[in-house]
Every structure is written in structure tokens, then in C-alpha cells.
Amino acid sequence: MVSIGAVSRIRETSAHWGTYLVEVSADGRDVVAARAHADDPDAAPAIGNVADAHRHRSRVARPSVRRRWLEDGPRPDARRGDPAEEYVEVDWDTALDLLARELGRVRSEFGNSAIFGGSYGWGSAGRLHHAQSQLHRFLNTIGGCTRSVGDYSRGASTVLLPHLIGARGTLDLRYKPASWADLAEHTDLLVSFGGVRRSNTWVVPGGHARHVGSDLARAVGRRTEVVALTAQRDDAFADLGAEWVGVMPGTDTAVMLALVHVLVVDRLADEEFLSAFTVGADEVRRYVLGETDGVPKTPEWAERISRTPAAAIRALAHRMAAGRTMVNVVYSLQRGEGGEQAIFAGLTLAAFLGQIGLPGGGFAHGFGSMGDYGVGVAGAPLPTFPQGTNPVPDFIPCARISDLLLHPGEEIPYDGTTVRFPRTRLAYWAGGNPFHHHQDLRRLRRALSTLDTFVVHETHWTPTARHADVVLPVAGTLERDDVAAGAGDSRLRAVPRVVPPRGEAREELWIYTRLAERLGADFAEGLDSRQWLERIYERWRAAPASPPAPPFAEFWRDGGVELPRKSYDDAVFTAFRADPVANPLDTPSGRIELFSATLAGFGLADVAGHARWREPTQWWGAPAAAEFDLHLLCNQPTHRLHSQLDMGAASRSTKVAGREPVRLNPADAAARGLADGDVALVRSPQGSLLAGVVVTDALLPGVAQMHTGAWYDPSAPEVADCVNGNVNVLTRDVGTSTLTQATSGAHVLVAVTRYDGPVPPVRAYEPPPFSR
């Protein structure tokens, strides 16, 4: 901590977007400003949101209960989430008594499977105040809950890849991938499907002491040729010097299959590798040559689907075969209908090149998708808050929350089995925002209306909080002590409280402790949060795999402890390549399965045993395609993390006409009479929104682009479903496939027209109305 006169003090803190400095008022109660460390080579713009958000009027000040729920009792209610719904502020004892009584009712009348523990999100970078861990521990202490599995980021690939490369190989792709340094030293050509976004390297679960991903990537750009196949020219940050090859959204699989076709026809495939290290190459050959379905997967075939020139595809295949090549498929490609096929085809392409397991060659799934991907060091074990055991067996794939609530008792296929939806009476959400992560918000609102009770822990009156029956104000990251580190981090950091909690906000550990007491359970084992912090640290320090570390008091005094920076030395694919007999993959064959008999045996209509092209169902039907004629890409924002702190200065600086922008190619804008700064109405079969217009030649014609994460604002339904530009009013709530059941929200067909009516104000950041 550094003192600056009598005016303010500077303190260090951490978030998912990194470690940064906070200026605190002289009385120690307010955040004056936030800024990057001088020695952070690539600090995240999201730091600029912190000060505004801390003192924003949308902070939840006191426990609040929706008035209709308070007066009428727990029940389904279609008015849940209506902007006019009033809340009543109550004291903590009243709120906790009400909630304990409702939890007890649901448990006794319907069983614990009727409680959904919804804590998908990025609420805190801390190891103790991890919202999901704390909520799950609490629910587990009172008998458990229905839970979710998987995630929105890689929900399709984490189900698919274990069938193709085994569980250990899948883990290596996430935690021991080729590093940026490997690419800079060994790789002649990095071919990235989906681009390599600089802004994604700013974000790490748990944060990093300093940002290193972009700096490492720049080294690649100095030696390695980079080709980015994407619908956006600026999808790869400038330091890489990437060559842009345009691909229409959702068509990457077709391009990859055409590249395999060229390798086969022009005899460029590595037949020795395919024979020794894979199974199923013959099935793939027959498919790409058209022997199984009568459709050869030629570059010309792919051009008709993707608009990628056939000559460019053919030339790229020859370049890939001529030197050491890394095939990278970013996370976002699997977030679409049939999204797992892009991962399947990317792995297949890399296998036909024969470089998997070689330094700087093969297949990657994450360069440019996350800040810890490719840092090149094995992550040290980190302290964790124990969640206990959930005795309830019921679960859902995380992207199927609306299905769970709307279709109780129904079954869906998932990873070769079936999942049955229990009847849900109460959902308890902490540390996440389904109005950012989930799709088709009209449908999500209908789903939430079926609940008896919706409970939310929040720092601000987010769209999720505005749909809750009971809202409990929780302390934010700056308002509690914690420890933080991310995978591959250089330092486990002490993160002391910077300012006291706003209003009557409380730490979640305090909340759960008192709720559990009312329900006759023991959540905290008699410890407060400081004691728990010391416990998880000391247990971590004593674990055999942990690095040398001082006692907690010394660690806290010094502000942290260095973590080992050990390079990978036992990567699965390196050992597999050296001796596939002695080091087989944990697949049925022990090899890379380009054709999986297991997948084929599931008998799914939309997933075969090998990678294949399947046209998305949203393209079907001429009338719909004629009306919704632009492909909208929905990707992560640059100046905030997901939807966090959207009201902050950095996020506001990206707005156009006071709301989230939509980017359009000049030809598409001109055809619609749109110019920079105009307001557009963007529609899909699912809903509508208002957006500010940005015209750019960085997009292919026929493609529009918006960032996710604008706070949902339904305050003017006569104009649009959201007047602030939340793209999930447009996206489709359909699973990627019957195998993976993941989100398909990265791409949707839309219509964009000029909006010339009165532009309603944005009310997304206002608290709800209160009554006594």
C-alpha cells in the first residue's frame, strides 16, 4: 500500500481481468479510481469500470423481497421480471427467516431435487469467496440440489473430445497445450479458425499477477506466419500480422473438410501417422471423397457454403503440408448448432497433416480464447473451499436451464445416455448472470415464471436480480479478504479488503452460516471468513504437491508467495507420439479416433462416428432465410468481462447512441440506409433489440457483429424486447446436438433495419421500484 498525502491511498487488488491498483478515499470508505500496474505490459480496459460500479446507484443496498411474492406467497408468476414489479426492503433477520422457511417447505414437500443450485458464472476471482463453491457447499449441507454440469465456453468440446483423444488428452488440450513460446520457436504456420482475439487474453479464471498472453503472442507474430479464418478481419490482433481468409459464420467445418479433401486428393496426407496413431482415417477419406453420400467435399463445394474462395482453400492446404503447422480452433466455434463438428473436423485436419505430438505442431483448442492458454507452465495446485458431497443425483447440461424449468419430467439425450428433468420449485443463483450466458430471453423469462421462488445473491440490480423474489446484497471483491491465482500464474496473491461493504451487504459465508443455522445444519464449522481463509491456505501449504510457502501470517504480510513456473514435461501427446504402444491414449482403441465406434453406436441422427458437415436448421426454409438475411456473430466484449460492470466508464465508452453497437459491412449498411451513429432495430425469430450502428469494412458482406453482455432492458416492449442491445433476446435456445446439449448462442440469423421512432432511454442500470 502506498500513501498519497492525506487525500487517498493506493491498494492492490485482483479480479479475473488481472491485478490492478485502486485509489481509496482518505476516510477509507470509497473507491476514487482504479488503474493498471505500471509493470503490467497489457492491462485490461475493464479496470476502468471498477470505480463507477462500486458506488453506482444500482448497488443492492438491503435485503429485498418482491412484493407480490411477499404478499401472495411462493408460486409461479408470469409477472416475475416485469420492470414495474415492486420490491420491499427488509432487515436481515426477516429475509433469512423467510428464505429458511421456503427452503424448508420445498425440501419437505418435494425433496431436494426440486432445488436448482444455479451458480454458473464468474462472480469472484477469489479462492475462498468463490460463489459456486459456497452455494454448493451450503445446499449440500442441507441435503443437496439438482446441479448443472459443463460450461458455456466449451460445453460441446468437453463432451466430444474424450471420445476422440481420451480424458487425459482432453485435459492436456486445456492445461498443457503447446505454448506461445513453442509456436514462436517451432511453428512455421499457425492456422486459426475463429481468429486470435487480444481481448480474450486479458481474462483468466482467478486472474493473473500480470498479463503475459498478448506479449507471448507477439513473439509468434515475429517469426510464424498466421492465417486467421473468420468473418472478421480484426478478429486477430494486429501484432500477429495475420493473413485474413474470410469464412461465413457457422461454416468452418465445411472449410476444414475441404482442406482434408485436398490433402487426400493431392497425396499430401501423412499416411504413416494416420496408420500408426489413428483409427478411422479410411471412413474419413470415403466421406470427403463423396463415396458415402455422393457429395465430394471439394474446395468448390466448401466455397458454395462458406464463401471462402476455393483457390484460397487449395493453396492453404498446400502451405499447411509444407511445414510445421498448428491448427487452432477457438472456443467460440463450438458455440453453435453442430458446434462440436468444428472441433472434430479441426482435430481430423491436424491428424491428416500428421504433426500431433511434434513441438509447435498439431491441434490446439484455445489460443486466443483465454489468457492462461499457452502460457507454457504447468499450473501449481491452488487453495480451494470444500464443497462437500451432493447426495442428489439429478443434473442438467448447464445450457439447458430453460428446458429444465419448462419441461419437468421430460428426458433428453446427452453423451450417449438420457437426462431426466426433475420438477423444480426453487432456484438459488449466486455469482452468475443467466441473462448474459443464456439464450432466447423471452423463453428464459417464461421458464423462470414457472418457479415458486427465485433467490439471487447480487452486488447490483442486474437483470437476474430484477427477476428474483428474494435478493440478498453481497459484498463485492473489493469488500472482503481473499486469496487469488489463476492456472499457470506466477504468484498466489493475498487480496485484502480495500473498502467496507456498501449498505448492508454481507459476505456470502456469513449469509450461508446463518441460513444453515436456521435449517439445523452446519455450514461454517464454527469459523468466520478470516479463519476459513487461513484454513484453506494452510491445508494447501501442507499438501504434498504444493510448493514451499510460509505460514499464513507471513504470507498475508508479504502480500503473496511465488508459484513455481515449471514447463510441461509429461504432455500426453508427446509421450503418445514417442511410443503409442507404451503410452496409449485412454480411448477404446488407444489411438486418436477419427471415427469413433462409440459415437456411431449412440445412433444419433445429428452426430456421426466421424466429422461431417450438417447445415444448421436455422438456415432451413426460404421465407425465414429471406427475412433474416444477415449472419450475426455474438462474441465476447472487449471492455468488460461478460456482463460485469456494464455501467462502468470503460464499457460505456464502447456504446453508440447510448447502447450496445452493431457492426455492419458498408454494403449492408448502405442497402439499409444506415450510417455510423444511427439506431437500428435488430430482429430474429426469437426477439428484437435496439443497437447503435458502426460501419466497418472489417466484416464480410452479409455478416453483422455484436458483443454479448449488455444488460437486458425490457422497459419499452412496444419498441423492442431490449432497448440496450442484449444479443440474447435474438439467439436460439437449442442444443448444439443431441450428443453435447451445449449452447448454440454465438451465431444467429437476423434482420437489421433503420429505427426512426422515438428512442427510449436505457433504464437497465436503475434499481427497481420499492414500496413499504
Q: pLDDT tens digits for 498-545? A: 999 999 999 999 999 999 999 999 999 999 999 999 999 999 999 998
Residue 180 annotated in active site: no
**Grid cell of 84 as nine digits:** 414495474
Query: From its phi and psi, is residue 444 left (phi > 0), alpha (psi between -120 and 50) or beta?
Result: alpha
Residue 122 annotated in active site: yes
Strands 189-193 and 325-329: parallel
pLDDT at 119: 80
Cβ-based neighbours of 64, under 8 Å, separated by 6 or more: 87, 88, 89, 90, 470, 471, 473, 768, 770
Bridge partners of residue 705, in order along the sequence: 633, 663
How high does pLDDT run on average in the chain? Answer: 94
pLDDT tier at 2, thresholds 50, 70, 90: very low
Contact assessment for residue 762 and residue 463, using Cβ atoms and an 8 Å cutoff: no
Question: What pLDDT digit, counting tens, does each position of 282-317 carry?
Answer: 999 999 999 999 999 999 999 999 999 999 999 999
pLDDT at 570: 64
Helix (H, G, I), strand (E, B) or coil at 391: coil
Residue written as grid cell 500464474: 489
Q: Which CATH number fits domain 64-150+384-484+491-562: 3.30.50.10, 1.10.3470.10, 3.40.50.740, 3.40.50.10490?
A: 3.40.50.740
135-139, 421-425, 561-565, 583-587 — which is least confidently predicted?
561-565
| 708/725 Cα distance (integer angstroms) | 9
Nearest partner of 641 among 121, 57, 174, judged by Cα: 121
Residue 741 carries which DSSP code?
Answer: -
Residue written as grid cell 496409449: 584
For residue 569, count CB atoms less than 10 angstroms from its CB and return exposed for 0-12, middle for 13-18, buried for 19 or more.
exposed
Helix (H, G, I), strand (E, B) or coil at 462: coil
CATH superfamily of 162-378+572-601: Dimethylsulfoxide Reductase, domain 2 (3.40.228.10)
Helix (H, G, I), strand (E, B) or coil at 338: coil
For residue 620, count CB atoms less than 10 angstroms from its CB and return exposed for 0-12, middle for 13-18, buried for 19 or more.
exposed
| CA dihedral (593, 195, 217, 486) positive or negative | negative
Catalytic residue among 122, 180, 429, 755: 122
Residue written as grid cell 418435494: 110
5 has a pLDDT exceeding 60: no
pLDDT tier at 568, thresholds 50, 70, 90: confident
Mean pLDDT for 127-148 is 96
Mean pLDDT for 713-724 is 98
Question: What pLDDT digit, counting tens, does each position of 734-753 carry?
Answer: 999 999 999 999 999 999 99
pLDDT at 733: 97
Contact assessment for residue 258 and residue 217, using Cβ atoms and an 8 Å cutoff: no
80-94, 200-214, 311-325 — which is least confidently predicted?
200-214
| 35/47 Cα distance (integer angstroms) | 6
Helix (H, G, I), strand (E, B) or coil at 691: strand
Nearest partner of 259 among 355, 197, 360, 347, judged by Cα: 347
Helix (H) or strand (E) run with residue 484 in it: strand 482-484
pLDDT tier at 4, thresholds 50, 70, 90: very low
Question: What pLDDT digit, counting tens, does each position of 388-446 carry?
Answer: 999 999 999 999 999 999 999 999 999 999 999 999 999 999 998 999 999 999 999 99
Catalytic residue among 17, 20, 87, 120: 120
| 589/166 Cα distance (integer angstroms) | 10
Question: What pLDDT digit, counting tens, does each position of 82-117 carry?
Answer: 999 999 999 999 999 999 999 999 999 999 999 999
Percent of the chain whose pLDDT exceeds 70: 98
Q: 118 — phi, psi (to 5°)?
A: -95, 95
pLDDT at 569: 65
| 693/702 Cα distance (integer angstroms) | 15
Question: What pLDDT digit, counting tens, does each position of 163-179 carry?
Answer: 999 999 999 998 889 99
116-120, 132-136, 276-280, 721-725 — which is least confidently predicted?
116-120
So where are the chain's domains? Answer: 2-54, 64-150+384-484+491-562, 162-378+572-601, 617-754
Percent of the chain whose pLDDT exceeds 90: 86
Contact assessment for residue 318 and residue 135, using Cβ atoms and an 8 Å cutoff: no
Question: What pLDDT digit, counting tens, does each position of 436-448 carry?
Answer: 999 999 999 999 9
Residue 762 carries which DSSP code?
Answer: P
pLDDT tier at 557, thresholds 50, 70, 90: very high
pLDDT tier at 266, thresholds 50, 70, 90: very high
Q: Which CATH number fits domain 617-754: 3.60.20.10, 3.40.50.10490, 2.40.40.20, 2.60.40.1080?
A: 2.40.40.20
| 342/319 Cα distance (integer angstroms) | 21
